[in-house]
A and B are shown apart, each in its own frame.
Chain A
Amino acid sequence: MTTMVSARVRADRRSALWQVDWMLVIGVVALAAIGAVLVWSATFQRPALTGGDEHAYLVKHAMNFGLGLVLAVAAALVDHRWVRILTPFAYLAAVAGLVLVLVPGVGEVVNGSRSWIRLPGLSVQPSEFAKLTVIVAMALLIAERLEVNRHDDARTVDIVQALAIAAAPVTLVVLQPDLGTVMVMGALVAGVIAVSGVSKRWLLGLVAAAVLAAAVALELHVLKDYQLARFAAFADPSQDPRGIGYNVNQARIAIGNGGVFGQGLFHGSQTQNSFVPEQHTDFVFTVAGEELGLLGAGGIILLFAIVLWRACRIAVKARDTFGRLVATGIVCWFGFQAFENIGMTLGIMPVTGLPLPFVSYGGSSMFACLLAVGLLQNIHLRATRTRHVR
């Protein structure tokens, strides 16, 4: 029996290539490819940024994607038990990174947040990886409890412990402060807990607590002035035309300028004349909006719908609780972050410093997101293989 199973596993490994969720792969590759072109268009006329090499960012984006792909393949093929074993270490490393980033001199302040560690040759944004580790750590804790107790649904004590695990990184990110990442973490924590099977009362309680926390934060002025300004500008861009309202306004003009068919790649006047700040990173969607129009920008939204659909499907079909919760967390992460990022460029969400997964230029985000895709494939392969074994 054992020999037979192991033979089958070997056969499956060979055919893993065929069992990969190709729909998900295509979606992600398409997003990254569009991203590369958009980043290129946003930077090729900015020698101050590129140092004169028009293709600098195109190449860098492609390289990030290539490296990320290697990480993804590794994550997809590694045995799920190794994932479980590595999870506590990854969690500790993420927390350590988030602590390190707060140390003045190590952490670098960009746009008001201390969220970067600058190393020679590259900068790392620990909060990008922290999102993934929070998902995996919470999922591991809840899954272990359910398996040990042979329950279908998580109990109160499990949830409290899972929340405690999330609390440390979230608090550290609040200290940076990086409002966007805090919001994304809130969304993925909520998703993981919801799917852990906890009772409805718990869910409603959590929602109420979140609302309360937001109210208290406002009252006690936990938010920095500039963060409040961003919210105010989100409500009324004309209020602060020289500050963040400028970004919101220029982004809206860029997207509206695209119309249905766009101004054509490399031909958006807002883009090519650098009217939209942070355009190759956080505001990359505006390049699509202006140069590719409704067709291109709508296409990006459609690709995200495909990615989220496949990720959800993987969550539903996951073989075990751990896989299901990890997939759920990733779905909530990608979904909310994409919504927040695109929503901010469209003027329906406040401006925060979040990249658009796969599309925005940025190594940390690309690696973390592709690692997550690798894990999704891992969960998917395990579920598919198990089906074949039976």
Chain B
Amino acid sequence: MSWSPLLGMDPVRKTPLRPRLRLLVIQVLLLSLLATLFGRLWWLQVVATEQLQQAAVLNRAREVLVPATRGSIVDARGRTLVGNRVSLVITVDRAVITKLPAAQARAALSRLANVLGQSYAELEARTKLCGEPGASKPPVCWNGSPYQPIPVAKDVSEQVAIEIMERREDFPGIVADSAALRAYPAPYGMNAAHVLGYLSPITTGELDAIEQSGADPVTHRSDLVGRAGVERTYDRLLRGTPGVKSVTVDNLGRANGVEKQTAPVPGSTLVTSIDARLQALVERELRTAIMTARKTHDKITERKYVADSGAAVVMDTTTGQVVAMTSYPSYDPGVWVGGISQRELNALYSQAAGTPLLSRATQGQLAPGSTFKPITTAGAMTNGYSKRTRLDCSSFFEVGNRRFKNYESASHGMMSFDQALALSCDTFFYRIAYNLWLDEGGSSGNVDARDPLVEMAKKWGLGRPTGIDLPSESGGRIADRKWKKEYYDAQKDYYCALAEKPKPGMSSFLKQFAREFCVDGWRYRAGDAVNFAIGQGDTTLTPLQLATVYSALSNGGTLWQPRVAEAHISPAGHRTPFPPKSRGKVPVPDSTLRYIDDALRDTVRTGTAAWKFTGFPLDKVPLRAKTGTAERYGKQTTSWLASYTDRYAVVMMISQAGTGSGASGDAVRHIWEGIYGIKGNTVDPRASVLAR
């Protein structure tokens, strides 16, 4: 074997010089190419290795969130109102799909569409992020976190799940897994959608907000978030903490090893003060009352009552806890589970369906009508009037050139507050309001004039939210001098234009109103003052606010902050109660409160609601009540019935349904009968729906 050097002498036949030189050049060229390769290899493996090793870790390591089981929501007896059920869900992991070559991703999705029986276009649209080019509108596009696997099908059959899991090569980033979905067992057929609320996926905007607040957005990225009711208020408690699993994955996102894992902490169980059985009863009674009203003839408008919506609240007057609360119309919270369709969403927001998402109990703001009179009474009796005050309950009361009529123009002669409350005499309270108004300076422009009735209304918590543990509560409105001025400033231009150029077909009332409003609509007139005293006009409140007012009458003046949540129970079983929270006492002497309380007993005995409570065992269940029939321009009257015992307050409101006792009387009576176990005129505590 010869080891002669490259250009060594060849004893046989010398290779010609030129080819030999050319070969040398080729050799040098190839050597430099190999040196280049080695140089680059050195650079990647020695200089840049740290950075590339990190890239490799990012490639293979993935943090998988193990969702925490959301806590259930139970009623005061521990009956499940909102629970979880297990469902087979198919998810698509964008993190994997977007990394694949486009053709491969397309193939995988079209295979999945095939298996699921969806169209490819439909499926692809669901895996697009909202706002990304080519994405469709929410809720079809994915409005959740881009890092979260996107659920594309729920409640799939076991067969479909097996097909997908067995052919994982064909379904990169696509996983069939069991997931816990919200379930609504609806004990006794109750609904309470407005109290419980619903969930929908966290949005990118919310994740950004979490990140900005300094918290770790990663732990939230697979979350469903409470959007209404206690699901929203107690979202953090119910949500728990997801576990984090560090897994290694391959190029198709298949996990092939777990590096470390922290276990998820389930959410707490929320115990509400709702009683499912009573809730079901209240819902049923409200619905029946509305249906009955819709069949009832309205003498004023000469057509049947519209009875478009209503609400009812049952409150424990000793704590402010809500025992039952309902709003009509309602919706099925189950439609949100696993993604809502556009059609379902439209229905929830539609006017024609009566905007069922709106909770009339906490968000419906209506004039209280005569149910306001106890506050007027309290205001008057702490400002110069007394039990001995006697005024004429005439058939009308003239203010300026306008006659303010008594209800159905009845005339009852001279009476005191107690009779005026029981009979709901308007003219009695007109006189008081008119006198007080004169004392304040009449229609003078003094916006800051002290108005004892307005002050009293504020002290009873009107004009601001009660602070109940439900989101988006409304506070109602006190139409005082200040409000009137603000309203005038805001509406002046509109009404002045209307006064100058009336629209064709405008009623003469509206024409006159526009003219007068344009001139001095800011003035707090005597008419405003007398209307305020009987709860008519522009003052509004929510059924929940009224329930707190009557609870205060029941408990001797304490204004509670209403609550739905009673306690929460940690996964370890530790129970933490939410103590009742007082908002203070109303500034009314006990004697006055007792006087009003006594007067309200007569409402069901001899007063406006007596005809609905004949045979009711008032001696055993001493019921107090006040009816209200509030007028609304262009609409039928709102029916109010507020009632209470020493323990509970029941308030019902039905919009466009007639008088307080007429539309709501029977329903409220049935609710009371349910609470106390009343059959005929016997009381059997064991027959109570609240009985243990």
A interface residues (Cβ-Cβ under 8 A, vs B)? 18-19, 21-22, 48, 152-153, 191, 194-197, 241-243, 246, 250, 252-260, 269-270, 272-275, 289, 293-294, 297-298, 301, 304-305, 308-309, 312-313, 315-320, 324, 328, 331-332, 335-336, 338-339, 342-343, 346-348, 383-384, 386-387, 390
Contact = CB atoms under 8 A, between A and B. Distances in A.
B248 interface: yes
Interface in B1-33: 1-2, 4, 6-7, 10-13, 15-16, 18-20, 22-23, 25-27, 30-31, 33
Contacts of B105: 242
A255 B100 CA distance: 20
B6 A255 contact: no
Interface stretch (B36-44, B625-633, B677-685): B36-44
B250 interface: yes
B50 to A, nearest CB: 8
Given A195-B26, A346-B37, 8 more contacts: A260-B46, A274-B250, A289-B44, A297-B45, A301-B38, A309-B27, A328-B23, A335-B26
B41 A346 contact: yes
A253 B59 contact: yes
Given A301-B37, A317-B10, A335-B30, A260 B56 contact: no
Closest 8 CB pairs of A and B: A256-B52, A273-B250, A257-B56, A335-B30, A152-B16, A339-B33, A294-B45, A346-B40
Contact of B52 (A243, A252, A293, A332): A252
Contacts of A260: 45-46, 49
B508 interface: no
B169 A48 contact: yes
10 contacts: A152-B16, A253-B56, A259-B53, A273-B256, A274-B252, A298-B38, A324-B15, A331-B27, A332-B26, A342-B37
A33 to B, nearest CB: 20
B12 A383 contact: yes
A255 B52 contact: yes
B51 interface: yes
Given A152-B16, A316-B6, A331 B251 contact: no
Nearest to B25: A194
Contact of A242 (B6, B53, B98): B98
Contacts of B20: 316
B16 A153 contact: yes
Taking each of A252, A269, A289, A318, which has the highest tally of chain B beta carbons within 10 Å of its own beta carbon? Answer: A269
Interface secondary structure of A, over-half rule = helix
A306 to B, nearest CB: 10
Contact of B2 (A301, A318, A384): A384
Contact of B26 (A18, A255, A312, A384): A312
Interface string B257-280: 000000000000000000000000
A313 B46 CA distance: 33
Given A153-B16, A197-B19, A259-B53, A331 B46 contact: no
B12 A387 contact: yes
B99 interface: yes
A70 B100 CA distance: 42
B26 to A, nearest CB: 6
B207 to A, nearest CB: 23
A286 to B, nearest CB: 10
Nearest to A261: B45
B621 interface: no
A304 B23 CA distance: 17
Contacts of B53: 256-257, 259
B15 A318 contact: yes
A387 B249 contact: no
B56 A269 contact: yes
A319 B6 contact: no
B345 interface: no
A346 B44 contact: yes
Given A256-B45, A294-B41, A346-B37, A275 B250 contact: yes
A257 B12 contact: no
A178 to B, nearest CB: 20
Interface in B77-102: 98-102
Nearest to B32: A339
Contacts of B45: 255-256, 258-260, 289, 293-294, 297
A205 B46 CA distance: 41
A272 B58 CA distance: 15
Contact of B48 (A19, A22, A256, A331): A256
B2 A274 contact: no
Contacts of A297: 41, 45
A299 B105 CA distance: 38
Contact of B44 (A19, A22, A255, A309): A255
Interface string B209-253: 000000000000000000000000000000000000000111110
B115 interface: no
Contacts of B1: 18-19, 21-22
B23 A312 contact: yes
Contacts of A258: 45, 49
B55 interface: yes
B410 interface: no
A324 B12 contact: no
Contacts of A342: 37
Contacts of B36: 339, 343, 348
Nearest to B51: A256
